[in-house]
């Protein structure tokens, strides 16, 4: 057993079985034992670094002890620092101290001592801390490189410019910077990476729990073309095309996680804006019970999934977790006894036992064409990634009428709004009542950080205004709010959960639909039947301490209707019902 492995087993960080698995993986991957442990996701960088420090008797450089300003040394090339993941952290008259990820490598110490012609000391540093310090070196050279880069590009032909970009994208500093941006996204749990060029430089932002956050490390402005070129090379885009939007995909592995990056570029007046959607295959939750369903909503939703035929829709805006809910729904079904086929654009996650079809418009494989073909494949359950047009919606409804269970998504704000959306797409109301079993509206709300959430007392007026009274326990008048700490990057939130609104089409709802009611009246009728709205489900999670009132208001501000609006809709519904009796 490796010495690091023994130390980590003694500290109860890993088991002996984990050590055996890591040794097997090390034979295939060829990395150091500690690096393999981190890539497999068994321990953190810090755990390995502390064990390595103890094993080698080399001090570990704390993040707080790195210099605020980059230490410039004549005789040591930046390429050497980046290539060997080493950075100067202290300078005295007698010696220079460097932090390295592999301090036991004798080549590093010898090369640095020869280059500087003075003694050097090597300490251990975390890769993330060293990368951060190396960025300071890049930024320190910005002013010198800006003029140099503009001089390099001036007078070049298009072919020369493209070739120069290709060379820049293949250099170690740019490769390390792009890798660091991706690693940082995984560490933060970000869903999207935004790299945006502006007149005053590059802006790097991460979308964490649905909210954009500025990066603390901004790339040098002059590196914009090189970063864009590096990402386009990785995602197999045309590096020479800078005037048209492009889409691509990067498959990579980060710290033991299979990461799928969906890349989109668009030209702007200051360069190419890049957005990378981060799909972490290891973090997807394919269990309905872990997705934030309230107990009563989950029971009714699972009842709809057990239906032998019909249409079940999930609605909500982009990024509200609709597709993940459908994946979890499919995962809860018995794929061994059922034939399940999906048509998606794109196929985000691959499911065992499920036949998944990727829509490809370039060869005219559209949703509608794929649907017509799979009906001849004898499916039991069909999942349509999104009902985008009239043809897709009509084929989906016809499939339900011929004995298939059809799951799909729609872009509407409320569950009741899906009915009028289908009608707008050309589906007759009598077909809607015959085929649609139910509609689930969904939003994602951030969950409060367990380490710093604080209780706040609400006045009777606030309880009445926000409609909290029905959900508060007897004598309860306090809820929790966000505060912010080091665990949640000062945001007050960590992770997300779902809130839901389930609209079930029973016989009473069929009559209201056939009477020609609009979305507002349908919503009022569903509430009269006992439907819990998105806002009310959010309030239930506020009372439980899962999220804050501010977060629910942010996500459902268009749903928290006033008492006057509710009363008007209810009165209109009563008039409609009396006229149809």
Where residue 259 sits, what CATH number does that domain have?
3.30.450.90
- 315 with 266, same domain: the answer is no
- 398 with 541, same domain: the answer is yes
CA–CA dist 193, 204 (Å, integer): 7
Where residue 37 sits, what CATH number does that domain have?
3.30.300.160
Number of domains, the chain: 3
From the CB of residue 383, how many other CB atoms can be counted at a distance below 10 Å? Answer: 25
End-to-end C-alpha distance for the chain, whole angstroms: 81
- 386 with 465, same domain: the answer is yes
Q: What percent of the chain has pLDDT over 90?
A: 31
Q: Is residue 157 part of a domain?
A: no
Extended strands (E) in 393-435: 405-410
CA dihedral angle for residue 462, residue 465, residue 469, residue 475, rounded to 10 degrees? 20
Q: Is residue 151 part of a domain?
A: no
Contacts of 564 (CB under 8 A, 6+ apart): none
β-sheet with 340-344: strand ranges across: 355-358, 340-344, 381-384, 405-410, 310-315, 436-448, 493-504
pLDDT number for residue 565: 47
State which H helix or E strand residue 86 sits in: strand 86-91
- 227 with 335, same domain: the answer is no
Q: What percent of the chain has pLDDT over 70?
A: 87
pLDDT number for residue 442: 94
- 276 with 348, same domain: the answer is no
User: HSE of 328 in the Cβ direction (CA atoms, 13 Å)?
Assistant: 20
pLDDT at 145 over 50: no
- Please, which pLDDT band fits residue 574 given cuts at 50, 70 and 90? low
For residue 341, the cross-strand partners are: 355, 382
Q: Where are the alpha helices (DSSP H) in 288-361?
A: 295-305, 322-331
- 416 with 512, same domain: the answer is yes
Q: Is residue 502 part of a domain?
A: yes
- 172 with 130, same domain: the answer is no
- Of the residues 135, 150, 180, the one at which a domain ends: 135
Q: In the predicted model, what is the mean pLDDT of residues 74-78? A: 79
DSSP type of residue 550: H
Domain that holds residue 237: 165-280
- Please, which pLDDT band fits residue 336 given cuts at 50, 70 and 90? confident
User: HSE of 569 in the Cβ direction (CA atoms, 13 Å)?
Assistant: 18
- 268 with 307, same domain: the answer is no
- Of the residues 216, 251, 280, the one at which a domain ends: 280
DSSP SS3 for 35: helix
Extended strands (E) in 338-435: 340-344, 355-358, 381-384, 405-410
- Please, which pLDDT band fits residue 140 given cuts at 50, 70 and 90? low
- Record the tokens describing residue 244, joined without a space: 């048209």
State which H helix or E strand residue 369 sits in: helix 367-374
- 269 with 295, same domain: the answer is no
How confident is the prediction for the chain on average, in pLDDT? 83
Which of 219-228, 286-295, 300-309 has the highest mean predicted lDDT (pLDDT)? 300-309
Residues 501-550 pLDDT 10s: 999 999 989 999 998 888 889 999 999 888 999 999 999 999 999 999 99
Q: Is residue 533 part of a domain?
A: yes
Q: Is residue 262 part of a domain?
A: yes
- Of the residues 280, 307, 326, the one at which a domain ends: 280
- Please, which pLDDT band fits residue 559 given cuts at 50, 70 and 90? low
- 298 with 275, same domain: the answer is no
pLDDT number for residue 318: 83
Please check whether residue 44 is in contact with residue 38, taking contact to mean a CB–CB distance below 8 angstroms. yes
CA dihedral angle for residue 64, residue 70, residue 75, residue 76, rounded to 10 degrees? 60
- 111 with 171, same domain: the answer is no
Q: Is residue 463 part of a domain?
A: yes
Q: Is residue 442 part of a domain?
A: yes
pTM beyond 0.75, yes or no: no
Listed range (166-175, 229-238, 455-464, 571-580) with the worst mean pLDDT: 571-580
Please check whether residue 227 is in contact with residue 220, taking contact to mean a CB–CB distance below 8 angstroms. no
pLDDT number for residue 562: 42
Q: Is residue 200 part of a domain?
A: yes
- 204 with 107, same domain: the answer is no
């Amino acid at each position: 057993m490796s010495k690091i492995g023994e130390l980590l087993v003694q500290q109860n960080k890993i088991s002996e079985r984990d050590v055996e698995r890591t040794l097997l993986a090390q034979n295939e991957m060829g990395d150091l034992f500690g690096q393999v442990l981190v890539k497999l996701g068994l321990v953190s960088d810090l755990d390995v670094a502390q064990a390595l420090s103890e094993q080698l008797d080399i001090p570990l450089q704390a993040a707080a002890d790195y210099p605020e300003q980059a230490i410039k040394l004549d005789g040591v090339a930046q390429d050497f620092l980046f290539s060997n993941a080493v950075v100067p952290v202290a300078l005295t008259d007698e010696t220079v101290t460097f932090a390295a990820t592999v301090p036991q490598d004798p080549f590093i110490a010898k090369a640095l001592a020869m280059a500087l012609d003075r003694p050097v000391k090597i300490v251990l540093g975390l890769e993330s801390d060293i990368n951060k310090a190396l960025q300071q070196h890049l930024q320190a050279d910005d002013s010198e490189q800006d003029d140099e880069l503009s001089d390099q590009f001036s007078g070049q032909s298009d072919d020369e410019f493209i070739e120069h970009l290709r060379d820049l994208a293949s250099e170690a500093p740019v490769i390390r910077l792009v890798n660091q941006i991706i690693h940082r996204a995984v560490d933060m749990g970000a869903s999207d990476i935004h790299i945006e060029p502006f007149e005053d430089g590059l802006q790097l932002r991460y979308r964490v729990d649905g909210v954009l956050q500025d990066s603390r490390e901004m790339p040098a402005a002059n590196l914009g073309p090189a970063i864009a070129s590096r990402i386009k090379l990785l995602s197999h885009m045309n590096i020479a095309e800078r005037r048209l939007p492009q889409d691509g995909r990067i498959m990579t592995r980060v710290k033991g996680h299979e990461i799928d990056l969906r890349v989109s570029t668009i030209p702007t007046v200051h360069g190419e804006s890049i957005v990378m959607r981060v799909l972490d295959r290891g973090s997807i939750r394919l269990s309905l019970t872990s997705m934030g369903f309230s107990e009563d909503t989950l029971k009714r939703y699972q009842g709809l999934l057990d239906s032998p035929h019909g249409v079940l829709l999930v609605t909500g805006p982009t990024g509200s977790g609709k597709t993940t809910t459908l994946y979890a729904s499919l995962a809860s079904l018995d794929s061994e006894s059922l034939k399940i086929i999906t048509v998606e654009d794109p196929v985000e996650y691959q499911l065992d036992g499920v036949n998944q079809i990727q829509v490809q418009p370039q060869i005219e494989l559209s949703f509608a064409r794929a649907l017509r073909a799979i009906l001849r494949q004898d499916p039991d359950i069909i999942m349509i990634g999104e009902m985008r047009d009239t043809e897709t919606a009509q084929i989906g409804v016809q499939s339900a009428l011929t004995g298939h269970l059809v799951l799909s998504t729609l872009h509407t704000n409320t569950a009741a709004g899906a009915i009028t959306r289908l009608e707008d797409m050309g589906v007759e109301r009598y077909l809607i009542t015959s085929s649609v079993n139910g509609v689930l509206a969904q939003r994602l709300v951030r969950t409060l950080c367990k380490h710093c959430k604080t209780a706040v007392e609400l006045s009777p007026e606030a309880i009445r205004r926000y409609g909290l009274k029905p959900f508060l326990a007897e004598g309860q008048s306090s809820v929790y709010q966000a505060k912010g700490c080091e665990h949640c990057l000062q945001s007050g939130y960590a992770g997300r959960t779902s809130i839901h609104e389930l609209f079930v089409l029973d016989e009473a709802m069929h009559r209201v639909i056939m009477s020609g009611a609009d979305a507002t009246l349908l919503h009022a009728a569903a509430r009269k039947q006992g439907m819990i709205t998105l806002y009310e489900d959010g309030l239930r999670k506020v009372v439980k301490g899962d999220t804050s009132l501010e977060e629910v208001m942010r996500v459902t501000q268009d749903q928290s209707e006033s008492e006057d609006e509710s009363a008007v809709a209810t009165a209109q519904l009563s008039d409609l019902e009396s006229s149809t009796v």
